[in-house]
Structure 1
Amino acid sequence: MATCEMCRLRFAGKLTPIPDTLGDSFKYTIPANGLQAISQNISNLTSLKCYSVDFLNNNTNMFHIAHCFPNLQMLDLSCCFNVPAEGIGHVLNTCCNIRHLNLKLCCGVKLHGMNFKAPKLEVLNLSYTRVDDETLYMISKSCRQILQLYLRHCYCVTEKGVKHVVENCTQLREVDLRDCIGVHAHVVESMVSSRPSLRKIIAPPGFRFNERNKKLFLHHGCLVYF
């Protein structure tokens, strides 16, 4: 069985128990057909972490998550390599209170053509995925309230996609562009100039400080790391 504290639930990806680093208990894998049974006892679940699980590689099980836990605010699917885009879209459309979505290292996820609205989504982690400019444009139209966007090691992203997000996400505060080799370093200055809400940028490769951009960043109150 899995432990649940303060309406939070974690799934482990292996059939063997793993130690809980926050305590002395153990976490165990929960089979997909157990989601409905769990939801009967945890009807107000708000945070669900699934790390490197393999039973979420089809729409059926993703739909189960959406319908079993409609009050989700945080969903972590990191390292779930083949999670279907349609299933992710269904969760976002059904769980309208989701504020934090982590798809880090979901290398097999293809987000093209996803039809969804996530008006309350504030934190989106797409690091180490195949996200590209077209996907970022779609996200910028569907998730305009995003505050933090993590794109580390997203090789298919260029400054075109970054500009879509900066233009449409009017409350954006933090962007991580580490190892985004397709993004030119000069985009950092235009990001800060065009989106006053930005407070932190981790710059793409090749960025360098100079007197002009230092003054610009200080004037707008934006911290830039490289």
Structure 2
Amino acid sequence: MFAEFCVFLGNLVSINVSGCRKLSNSALFAILRNSPLLSEIRMESTGIGIGSIPWLDLVIYHQLKSLHLADNSYLRDEVIYMFAFMFPNMQLLDLSSCCGISEDIISEVLKKCPKIQRLNLAFCPQPKLQQLDLERCYGITEKGVRLLVENCTHLREINLRYCCELSTNFVAWMIFSRPSLRKRMAPPHFRACDDDGKLLFRRCLVC
């Protein structure tokens, strides 16, 4: 019945079917086949991940920018990889509380979807980011890096070379706020004062 309903959704740009537990992989492909203008899909707390994947329907949807898939316990790496292939222009991906995905697939997603600006992995026990290279990401802000440092509790190395929007005080805050950090490549303008510098270098290799 849902597949038949989707036939009438040709002009849809956003859909929210969160909480519909019986909607699975087939429902997602029914939406995509019939709604070529979609830029946002919300399928939180559904049955996405259940059922076969219609490989003949694996086409690229350049217009899709936001994919909300929080609290989907059936999601696995192969399905996430498929989404990364199909939606290369994604800017937002919410996988919070998706316990079946691994840290390896997150790396693949970031490679295939370079435009991602918001990635939510809250309450995912497997993805434990340890290394992050942000060199030459000129537009990255202190707000974005602060969220990263606060949420990535296993982060050990971060490269911030040529990230000129980050202040010296913020770089020092980052080291003290994330004890797991052991190596940090600083922006070119970073200069710690003598007392602070000694303390920073004891806690984290700064280069």
Range into which the TM-score falls when normalised by the shorter chain: 0.5 to 0.7
Q: Is the 8 A contact 2:49 2:79 kept in 1?
A: no
Map 1:1-226 onto structure 2 (within 5 A).
Answer: 61-107=1-47, 109-110=49-50, 113-114=53-54, 115-117=57-59, 118-129=61-72, 130-186=74-130, 189-190=132-133, 192=134, 200=144, 207=153, 213=158, 216=160, 219=163
Contact 2:19 2:46 in 1 (8 A): yes
> Which amino acid is 2:124 matched to?
C
In terms of Rg, which structure is larger? Answer: 2
Structure 1 residue 174, shift from structure 2 partner: 0.9
Residues 160, 111 of structure 1: alpha-carbon distance in 2 compared, 3 angstrom cutoff: farther
**Secondary structure of 2:67 counterpart:** strand
TM-aligned CA deviation for residue 141 of structure 1: 0.5
When residues 206 and 122 of structure 1 are mapped into structure 2, their CA distance, relative to the original with a 3 A threshold, is closer
Cα distance in 1 for residues equivalent to 2:135 and 2:126: 21
Q: Is the 8 A contact 2:95 2:120 kept in 1?
A: yes
CA shift in 2, pair 1:98/1:134, >3 Å: same
In the aligned structure 2, how far is the partner of 1:127 from the partner of 1:203?
21
Q: Letter of the 2:64 partner, please give it.
A: L
Contact 2:137 2:162 in 1 (8 A): no
**1:166, 1:196 → 2: CA distance?**
18
Change (3 A) 1:126 1:203: farther
Give the ranges of 4+ consecutive aligned residues of structure 1 lying more than 4 Å apart after TM superposition.
Answer: 192-206
In structure 2, the CA distance between the partners of 1:84 and 1:107, relative to structure 1 (3 Å rule), is: closer
What percentage of aligned pairs have identical amino acids? 13
Cα distance, 1:136 vs structure 2 = 1.2
CA distance in 2 between partners of 1:197 and 1:111 (Å): 41
| 1:170-210 deviation digits (Å, cap 9, x = unpaired) | 211110011110112315x15x4698888756679761577
CA distance in 1, matches of 2:75, 2:149: 18
Distance 2:165 2:13 in 1: 29
Q: Structure 1, unaligned stretches of length 5 or more? A: 1-60
Give the direction of change, closer, same or farther, for the CA distance of 1:158–1:64 in structure 2 (3 Å limit). Answer: same
Q: Would the alpha carbon gap of residues 69 and 161 (structure 1) be closer, same or farther in structure 2, given more than 3 Å must change?
A: same
Whole-Å Cα distance in 1 between the matches of residues 110 and 48 of structure 2? 26
Point out where structure 2 has 5 or more consecutive residues left out of the alignment.
167-173, 179-207
What do the CA deviations read for 1:51-88 (whole angstroms, capped 9, x no partner)? xxxxxxxxxx2222321121111010100001031122
1:100-156 Cα shifts (integer Å, max 9, x gaps) = 000111146526524343321100011110222111111111111111000101111
Answer whether contact 1:65 1:91 (CA < 8 A) is retained: no
Q: CA RMSD in A?
A: 3.4
> Which amino acid counterpart does residue 207 of structure 1 have in structure 2?
T
Kept after mapping to 2: 8 A contact 1:171/1:197: no
Q: 1:175 and 1:135, CA in 2 relative to 1: closer, same or farther beyond 3 A?
A: same
CA distance in 1 between counterparts of 2:81 and 2:49 reads: 17
Count of equivalent residues = 160
Query: 1:217 Cα shift?
Result: 8.8
